[in-house]
Amino acid sequence: MLNLLSGFVEELRRAGLPVSLTEHLDAAEAVHHIPIEDREALKYALGATMVKSASHWHAFETAFDIYFARGLGTGEDGTPGPGAPGQGDESRLPGDQRGQQGGGAMDQTTPEELAALLYQALLQGDQPLMRVVARQAVTRFAGIEPGRPVGGTYYLYRTLRNLDLDAVLARLVGQAKREREDEGDLSMLDERLLGDEYRGRIDQLKKAVEDEIRRRLVEDRGAEALAKSIRKPLPEDLDVMHATRDELATLQRALRPLSRKLAVRLARRRRHRRRGPLDFRATVRRSLSTGGVPVEPRFRHPRPAKPEIVVIADISGSVASFARFTLHLVYAIQSQFSKVRSFVFVDGLDEVTRFFERADDPADAVQKINTEADVVWVDGHSDYGHALGVFFDHFGGEVTHRTSVLVLGDARNNYHASEDWVLAELRKKARHLYWLNPEPKDYWGSGDSIISEYGRHCDAVVECRTLRQLERFVGDLE
Amino acid sequence: MTTTSDPLGLGNIGPARFDSIPTVRDGLAEVGYLADEGIAGVVYLADRLAKPVLVEGPAGTGKTQLAKSVAELTGSRLIRLQCYEGLDESKALYEWNYRKQLLRIQAGQVLAESDLGSGPDHHSPTWAELEEDIFSEDFLLTRPLLEAIRADTPVVLLVDEVDRVELETEALLLEVLSEYQVSIPELGTVQATRLPMVFLTSNNTRELSEALKRRCLYLHIDYPDIDRERAIIRRKVPGISDELADQVARIVRSLRTIDLRKLPSVSETLDWARTLVVLGISSIDATTARESLNILLKYQSDIDKAAKELLSATDA
């Protein structure tokens, strides 16, 4: 058990979770206190001792499913889940389920029977039956080839495509509708609720299929090898530029609390950086209760200068997903500081402060900016030089020694003129000038990237591809 | 009886509070807190490992209530430290009662000068005696953390919204959380005689320090699944019919799948269910839902969006 745990901890660390030695020891200690055959309890014990952030839970769960595979968790043979991946085999179905289906060789169910079973399982929300169906479906459709170093995404896709869950969902909802027809029409609300109910069950089924595929892959290649194939970066380490659609959704969810966090932190730093000067009056007044001894000095509230922030963001296609995030970030900043002005550009430039001021949902604002902002001047390919020039002509006068200027973009200028004098001028006038670049540092300066030309004039050029980097940058911001 | 493990070498730290995970869950259910597997498991482990629990999760999912319920279940006193920006040592741990000390010194002078208390063996106190005197427990004002440590009755310590204090102030908690002791320079170290159960809650407005997290068990309480939510509604809203409870739970679940600014919490769900019961509504239709959405959702944009997603086609 301890060996297995060590392997598991190793895997967590490889996946990026910061598991310290103390936490490892705690986990080992915790395992002693729980009934060993209880897989759920084991999961929560390990989670509580080693996973200290909700955003890491998914990575933990994935690793847990691999190292402490289910299939053994149904408990029919009494062996504990841990240590046993590789023992599961097709014939070990829960007895009652086998009975229901008239027993016999499971591999010989026809697709029609399988479809009927699937329908039943979903209709009744019958979890054991779902697992049986998942097992069957994987055997029949996934076509797992032993020894291939894959994570199973393709197997999952193949299985689900054959099950055609969308059609099943439509049938389920249709049937429910028909059943209720005599009670009067099904309202929109009821229909939606029914749909959600069945969608929830289908998600359970998908999960069961995924579990089953993972279990077989573990059997095939061992936990460690599989864990390596399906390891994914943690949400804060995802590369914003190259995230898949699912990953983007994860990021989007992670971003909202992050922007709130950043806002709180920025506000707090501003308020608590220093104590103000001694408030003599209040101190004397206070000292009266201690017989004239000034025991507790009183201080005035500090009055930090109000920083002004100007954000200039590239929202062209090449950095579209990055831009979306920076816009969310701008929203967070804007709700926190009194004077924030934001501009977006492709080859033309437009001020978008107004969109943020009116919206109370950042997603709306981003949506509006993408559709309404007037950012195309000639052909809709980024032209940093022209955009910066326009900015300087129209708004250059408003940049003062209190202003921090942030430029967001990859500095891929399509071989237009760089006009980097604008940045030189801005640097002279502004308090700080930062450039956030969503490209990996290795690519800077390759092709039409002229980041070095611009970077010369900036206080700092920061690589900013992940939430973690973004967070660090804003944390250091003053 | 099994005893709690003793990794700290504290000796007498009291008997284990719970026998098994199911007893925790049943016990909590008796005092009106419906815990899921994870919550019960972590509470059980916290007792066994003598570790604090850091509870995170969206607002209104019963983080604070968990601590209260555990206190009720174990018959312990609940000591609560509400965190806020600017919380410091003198509010969290202990403070010397300056006024009383000053009074003591002045009284000593007066007594000495007027010879009121003079007897044959009277002498004015030396500085050392005086110091020992004014830095004794009589002049100590205990604050929640020290109080929880010194208590000789069972105690549940709740450190609420720990993410509100500054990073530096967090360090104050570390000694209490890992060693169950408080060091007072003038008095020495105060060691817990009975280990309190400690719960820290956080709304995750900032990342807590690694040091703090390392010392705690971590529990993330998310929105409950539909079965648990239904059970909670039935439990907490007297007089609600099973059908209505089911409907409420299902509507709330659907709402939580929409991308809203603030998702409805459990407490808001309960408020909504109570309102429906008071209004004498036995079944929710589109109109009632629309009219009472403002109890569940707190932003106009959210209300509009939810109405559009869930109800719009009924207009057509």
The 10s digit of each residue's pLDDT in B59-86 is 888 899 999 999 999 999 999 999 888 7
Structural element, H or E, at residue A398: none
Structure tokens at B1: 């009886």
CB-nearest partner of A29 from B7, B210, B222: B7
Give the model confidence (pLDDT) of A44-76 as tens digits: 899 999 998 888 888 898 888 888 875 544 433
A window 20-59, beta carbon within 8 A of B: 20, 22-23, 26, 29-30, 32-35, 38, 40-41, 44-45, 47-49, 51-54, 57
**What pLDDT score does B71 carry?**
93
Distance CA A113, CA A102 (A): 12
Strand B197-202, strand B155-160: pairing: parallel
**pLDDT value, residue A322:** 73
Residue A22 to residue B102, Cβ atoms within 8 A: no
Residue B54 is predicted with a pLDDT of 93
Residues 228-247 of B with CB under 8 A from A: 247
Tokens 């001028």 -> residue: A425
CB atoms B37 and A197 under 8 Å: no
Please state the domain extents for chain B.
Answer: 21-84+151-220, 94-139, 226-314
Contacts of A367 in chain B (CB under 8 A): none
Q: Which residues of A touch B85 (CB under 8 A)?
A: 268, 271-272
Residue B18: its chain A contacts at CB < 8 A? none
Fold of A246-273+305-476: Rossmann fold (3.40.50)
The whole-number pLDDT of residue B70 equals 92
- Residue A435 phi, psi dihedral angles, 5° rounding: -120, 125
User: Which range, of A358-372, A406-420, B116-130, B155-169, averages the lowest pLDDT?
Assistant: B116-130
Contact A187 B45 (CB under 8 A): no
Q: How would residue A98 be classed by pLDDT, with cut points 50, 70 and 90?
A: very low
- Tell me the pLDDT band of B201, cut-offs 50, 70 and 90: very high
Average per-residue pLDDT for chain B: 83
DSSP A77-136: T---STT-TT---TT---HHHHHHTTSS-GGG--HHHHHHHHHHHHHHT-HHHHHHHHHH
Identity of the amino acid at B13: I
CB < 8 Å from A in window 88-117 of B: 98-99, 102, 106
Q: Which sequence spans correspond to the domains of chain A? A: 1-68, 94-226, 246-273+305-476
Q: What is the CA radius of gyration of chain B?
A: 26
Using CB atoms, pick whichever of B85, B206, B301 lies closest to residue A360.
Answer: B301
354-393 in A: which are within 8 Å (CB) of B? 360-361, 363-364
Burial (CB < 10 A; 0-12, 13-18, 19+), residue A410, is buried
Most B CBs within 10 Å: which of A22, A29, A33, as the mutation test of the B interface?
A33
CB-CB contact of A336 with A477 (8 Å): no
Q: Do B57 and A261 touch (CB under 8 A)?
A: no
Higher-confidence position of A81 and A156 = A156
CA of A31: how far to CAs of B44, B93, B212, in Å? 12, 34, 22
In which band, very low, low, confident or very high, does the pLDDT at A90 lie, cut at 50, 70 and 90? Answer: very low
Q: Between B53, B86, B218, which is nearest A51 by CB?
A: B218
Residues in chain A with CB shorter than 8 Å from the CB of B256 are none
A 284-323 residues with CB below 8 A of B? 289-291, 293, 295-296
Own/partner contacts of A36-40, CB < 8 Å, gap of 24 or more, are A36/A1, A36/A80, A36/A82, A37/A75, A37/A78, A37/A80, A37/A81, A38/B21, A39/A68, A39/A70, A39/A72, A39/A73, A39/A80, A39/A81, A40/B37, A40/B38, A40/B41
Judged by CB atoms closer than 8 Å, whether chains meet at A33 and B313 is answered as: no
pLDDT tens digits, A246-285: 776 776 666 666 666 666 665 665 555 556 778 888 888 8
Question: Three-class SS string for B142-211?
Answer: ECHHHHHHHCCCCEEEEEECHHHCCHHHHHHHHHHHHHCEEEECCCEEEECCCCCEEEEEECCCCCCCHH
CA distance A24 to B240: 46
Residue B154, CA distances (Å) to B23, B182, B198 in order = 19, 18, 12
Place of tokens 């014990």: A45
Q: Which amino acid is at B104?
A: R
Token pair 């670049």 in the structure block, residue: A437
Complex ipTM value: 0.81
B135: amino acid identity, one letter: F
Q: Which residue has the higher pLDDT, B115 or B289?
A: B289
Instruction: Give the pLDDT score at A101.
Output: 41
- For chain A, the average pLDDT equals 75
Chain A and chain B share a number of CB contacts under 8 A equal to 130
CA quadruple A263, A267, A270, A272: dihedral, nearest 10: -130
According to the model, what pLDDT value does residue A192 have? 76
Statement: residue B130 has pLDDT above 50 = yes
User: A193–B38: do the CB atoms touch at under 8 Å?
Assistant: no
**pLDDT interval class at A331 (50, 70, 90):** confident
Note the pLDDT tens digit of each residue in B31-61. 889 888 889 999 999 988 889 999 998 888 8
| Contact (CB<8Å) A54/B56 | yes
DSSP state at residue A405: E
Angle at B96 between CA B94 and CA B102, to 5 degrees: 170
pLDDT, one tens digit per residue, over B219-261 is 999 899 888 999 999 988 888 888 889 888 988 888 888 877 7
Q: Which residues numbered 164-203 in A keep a CB inside 8 Å of some CB on B?
A: 187-189, 192-193, 196-197, 200
Q: What's the gap between Cα B276 and its chain centre?
A: 30
What are the pLDDT digits (tens) for A371-421? 777 777 767 777 888 888 888 888 888 888 878 888 888 888 878 887 888
Name the residue of chain A whose CA is nearest to B261's CA. Answer: A361
pLDDT band (50, 70, 90) for residue B199: very high
> Which range is least confidently modeled, A3-12, A185-194, A279-288, A414-423?
A185-194
Per-residue pLDDT, B217: 92
The answer to whether B114 and B165 are in contact (CB under 8 A) is no
* pLDDT computed for residue B68 by the predictor: 92
Give the amino acid at A217.
Answer: L
Q: Please, are residues B53 and B215 in contact by the beta-carbon 8 Å criterion?
A: no
Measured between beta carbons, which residues in chain B are less than 8 angstroms from residue A297?
none
d(C-alpha A13, C-alpha A56), whole Å: 11
Q: Calculate how close chain A gets to B113, using CA atoms only, in Å.
A: 19
Closest alpha carbon within chain A to B314:
A188
The CATH homologous superfamily of the domain defined by B21-84+151-220: P-loop containing nucleotide triphosphate hydrolases (3.40.50.300)
pLDDT tops 70 at residue A116: yes
Higher per-residue confidence, A173 vs A48 = A48
A-contacting residues in B 276-315 (Cβ below 8 Å): 284-286, 289, 299, 301, 309-314
Q: Do A48 and B219 touch (CB under 8 A)?
A: yes
What local confidence, expressed as pLDDT, does residue A191 receive?
A: 74
Question: What is the mean pLDDT of the segment spanning A201-223?
Answer: 79
A71 Cβ contact list (under 8 Å, min separation 6): A88, A92, A211, A212, A215
Q: Mapping DSSP to helix (H, G, I), strand (E, B) and coil, where does residue A150 land? A: coil
Which B-chain residues 61-90 have CB contacts (< 8 A) with chain A?
85-86
Q: Using only C-alpha atoms, what is the Rg of chain A?
A: 29
CA–CA separation, A40 and B36 (whole Å)? 11
- With pLDDT > 90 as the criterion, what percentage of chain A qualifies? 2
Question: Which run of H or E residues covers position B96?
Answer: strand B94-96
The neighbour count for residue B132, using CB atoms within 10 Å, is 12
